[in-house]
């Protein structure tokens, strides 16, 4: 996937925008925009493709509002053990 400019496209709170130190990949920009639009989302991409930045930017955006909340759930191990 190609890179996409984000400076003017995403309307993030300053704390969230500060996390974006380089151009986003297309899937990151789309995921962040979907989150800003209030949509539920699942990001399923390869390891080291930037999934974490998507939730971090959205969490920082929502937590910049005094009434904002964020919940992140993640599996801690992929070892195959239940």
The pLDDT of residue 10 is 85
The pLDDT of residue 56 is 92
The model's pTM is 0.74
Low-confidence residues of the chain: pLDDT under 50: 7
**Both tokens assigned to 40:** 């539920």
The pLDDT of residue 71 is 87
């Amino acid at each position: 996937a190609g890179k996409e400019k984000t400076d003017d496209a995403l309307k993030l709170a300053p704390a969230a925008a500060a996390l974006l130190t380089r151009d986003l990949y297309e899937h990151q920009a789309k995921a962040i925009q979907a989150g800003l639009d209030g949509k539920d989302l699942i990001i399923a991409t390869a390891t080291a493709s930037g999934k974490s930045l998507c939730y971090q930017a959205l969490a920082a955006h929502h937590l910049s509002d005094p009434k904002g909340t964020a919940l992140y759930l993640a599996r801690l191990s992929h070892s195959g053990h239940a």
